[in-house]
Amino acid sequence: MVFRRFLLVVGFFAILATGFAQDVSFQGSAKSTVSLGESFTLTYTLNSQGTDFRGPRLSGFDVISGPFTSTSSSIQSVNGRTTMSVRYSFQYILQANKEGTFDIPPATITIDRRTITSNSLTVKVTKNGSAQTGTSQGQPYQNTQQQGNIQTNPNDVMLKAYVSNSNPQQGEGITVTYKIYTKVPVSQIMFTKEPSFPGFWSQNLTKEKEKLQQYNQVIDGQQYIVADLRKYTLFPLKSGKLTIEPLELECQAQIKRQSKTRTGDPFFDDFFNDSFFNTSYTPVEKSLRASALVVNVRPLPATGVPEDFAGAVGSFNFHTELDRTRVKTNEAINLRCVVSGEGNLQLIDKLNITFPPDFETYDPKVSNDIRSSEKGVSGSQVFEYLIIPRKPGKFNLKPISFSFYDLKKMKYVTLTSPDYTIEVEKGTGEAANVTYTGANHEEIKYISSDIRHIKNQVFSLSKSGEYFFSSLGFFLCLIVPLLLFFIFIMLFRKFSERRSDVMLMKNLRATKVARKRLKKAELYLKEKKTQEFYVEISRALWGYLGDKFSLPIAELSIDTVKQTLIKKEVGEEIIQNFIDTLNNTEYARFAPGEKSVNMERVYNEALAVISRIERELR
């Protein structure tokens, strides 16, 4: 009977633990196909509170910004019991810098001392491609058949791109519009390549399945029917000359076709060949490509930048609301911060707020009401903070500041909230989620007397007149543990500092990791696995440099390698040997001839050049 109860209890806790494990969801999402140079968002979503988020190591992509953290939460109170659910998001803005198919490895996060792993992603990066030669370029398309003559002109159908401001400041919103101009009926419009905006944060203003609004416009004396195909709002994320890659599409143009009838009778021929009787329409395939746009982005002023400036550009208002200033301990307070106005509201991801140390706080719930139009982006971004005072007393919440660059005033502006005084009274302490940071001396009870147990063990005896106190052993027992303790503290701090220095640890492990990869490549060499061998050799060479000199993967190139080795005073001969080894690796991979001979030579060169660089750096 006891054993059966024990099994029931164990089964209950096992089911409960399984339920908790299944409740945790950590998912990654991104576009499956992007164009070379296109910016896109990589998002990881978590439905539980976690710590130590570690993003994936990215290959083939540049990290423009991120990770940005946002939180949404909901609170319910039923019969005095408060429950809260929180959803966390971690976002990267990436830019594809290499063509191919790339695997994004899983990200990790720690929840209750358990490491949770997300799903992996695969992103295909397609080539930008050059303008396709179609009927919209070159000479007029002519197709003469026995039935008639089809004639079209490159100006019958045109695709053009317009930008509202070609010289904005960094963070200032601009609008890009793609318009189609036609003098003939068109149908079956199919977009073969969407525009890409490297260096911009973009938002599509075109609503899906919305009927195109058409209007007439006269160009060079010719009347065209015009329709806006695509509209985008762009916010430049950096300064300098940025190129907007063009939009490409294919469509069918309905071109007039005139037939020539030959009867032998001049009267009938002239009558039936009149355009009123013999004009018909034939569909002709058209390939259109808008021209690329170059935007010269001016940098923001470098002087007078506030300390809390985080890239907000526009014209904004800022105000805060505190639902109450007089509470008891363990009662929740809601702080609401609202940023409203016009500008890059979507890029405002957090506020700089310092709460009293005795307040328990949660990440803010972020909500927005943003409207995008041709005039720009406007609306509001709301940050709601839940704060819980844990100790009684009178606390001061310092003013909250929000800084942005005002495009109208052409200067930095800082808006601040009023300071709040919060009076916290001592509560009942019955809240289920109360955590104590210290002991309450009034609640500690001392037991002044108790029954002492009789000692029944064997006592050790010593000679009369001899005492351990004040002897040499006594002082050694006092001093030696103290010295060992201080030595342990010094060694522990030194070890912790080294472990916390990621760059140093990578530097120290660079040679070891490279040798492991070379050893693995040696196995592939013996097994005649050509593809795996060259991949491992390339990883060993590039990985050694990246770890040894703390270079991000996105910055690794032949020029970067050369400049870095020169700065480290490595000999020119060794530098050239390393570059030649990299080139030989790629050449041997695809070169004709005996693969085993090439593999053996490449392996020896890689091993030799890493060893020479290691000796040179010592």
27-41, 71-85, 121-135, 254-268: range with lowest mean pLDDT: 254-268
Instruction: Tell me how far CA of residue 427 lies from CA of 168, 361, 392, 430, 588, in angstroms.
Output: 56, 18, 8, 8, 76
Q: Is 605 left (phi over 0), alpha (psi -120 to 50) or beta?
A: alpha
What is the rounded CA–CA span in Å between residue 489 and residue 164? 63
Residue 386 clears pLDDT 80, i.e. is over it: yes
pLDDT, tens digit (0-9, with 9 covering 90-100), for 339-360: 999 888 888 887 888 888 888 8
Bond into 67 cis (ω within 30)? yes
Residue 462 clears pLDDT 70, i.e. is over it: no
Domains of the chain: 23-126 (2.60.40.740), 142-297 (no CATH), 313-425 (2.60.40), 502-617 (1.20.120)
pLDDT-based confidence at residue 144 (cuts at 50, 70, 90): very low
Question: What is the arithmetic mean of pLDDT over 6-25?
Answer: 53
Question: What is the arithmetic mean of pLDDT over 85-101?
Answer: 81
pLDDT at 20: 44
What is the rounded CA–CA span in Å between residue 257 and residue 276? 12
In sequence order, which ranges of 501-529 are alpha helices (DSSP H)? 502-527
pLDDT-based confidence at residue 446 (cuts at 50, 70, 90): very low
Question: What is the arithmetic mean of pLDDT over 472-482?
Answer: 86
pLDDT at 141: 33
Residue 480 clears pLDDT 50, i.e. is over it: yes
Residue 174 clears pLDDT 60, i.e. is over it: yes
Residue 337 clears pLDDT 90, i.e. is over it: yes
Report which of residues 527 and 17 the model is more confident about: 527
pLDDT-based confidence at residue 383 (cuts at 50, 70, 90): very high
Q: To the nearest whole number, what is the mean pLDDT of the chain?
A: 76
Report which of residues 573 and 412 the model is more confident about: 412
Question: What is the arithmetic mean of pLDDT over 138-159?
Answer: 52
22-26, 279-283, 434-438: range with lowest mean pLDDT: 434-438
pLDDT at 281: 63
Question: What is the arithmetic mean of pLDDT over 440-461?
Answer: 51
3-17, 75-89, 391-405: range with lowest mean pLDDT: 3-17
190-194, 397-401, 565-569: range with lowest mean pLDDT: 565-569
Q: Which residue has the tokens 């990869």?
A: 517
Residue 11 clears pLDDT 60, i.e. is over it: no
pLDDT over 90, % of the chain? 12
What's the distance, Cα to Cα, between the start and end of the chain in Å? 72
pLDDT at 561: 75
Residue 168 clears pLDDT 70, i.e. is over it: yes
Residue 21 clears pLDDT 80, i.e. is over it: no
Report which of residues 579 and 323 the model is more confident about: 323
φ, ψ (nearest 5 deg) of residue 567? -60, -35
Nearest to 610 by CA among 523, 542, 555, 541: 541
pLDDT at 441: 37
pLDDT at 412: 92
Q: Which two structure tokens, joined as six digits, stand for 244?
A: 């907007």
Instruction: Tell me how far CA of residue 90 lies from CA of 59, 67, 597, in angstroms.
Output: 19, 6, 48
Question: What is the arithmetic mean of pLDDT over 310-334?
Answer: 90
Half-sphere exposure for 503 (CA within 13 Å, toward CB) = 4
Q: Is 533 exposed, middle or buried (0-12, 13-18, 19+ CB in 10 A)?
A: buried
φ, ψ (nearest 5 deg) of residue 118? -85, 180
Residue 479 clears pLDDT 50, i.e. is over it: yes
pLDDT at 78: 56
Strands 39-46 and 81-96: antiparallel
User: Which residues lie closer than 8 Å to 44 by C-beta, 6 or more apart?
Assistant: 26, 27, 28, 29, 53, 55, 67, 89, 90, 91, 107, 118
Residue 378 clears pLDDT 70, i.e. is over it: yes
pLDDT, tens digit (0-9, with 9 covering 90-100), for 279-310: 556 677 888 888 899 999 999 998 888 888 88
pLDDT at 308: 85
pLDDT at 452: 56
pLDDT at 444: 34
Instruction: Tell me how far CA of residue 96 lies from CA of 40, 126, 170, 509, in angstroms.
Output: 8, 9, 21, 29
Rounded to a whole number of angstroms, the CA Rg of the chain reads 36
pLDDT-based confidence at residue 509 (cuts at 50, 70, 90): low
Would you say 205 and 372 are in contact if contact means Cβ atoms under 8 Å apart? Answer: yes
User: Which residues lie closer than 8 Å to 265 by C-beta, 6 or more apart?
Assistant: none
Residue 149 clears pLDDT 50, i.e. is over it: no
pLDDT over 70, % of the chain? 73
pLDDT at 277: 45
Residue 132 clears pLDDT 50, i.e. is over it: no
Residue 97 clears pLDDT 90, i.e. is over it: no
Residue 272 clears pLDDT 70, i.e. is over it: no
Question: What is the arithmetic mean of pLDDT over 472-500?
Answer: 83
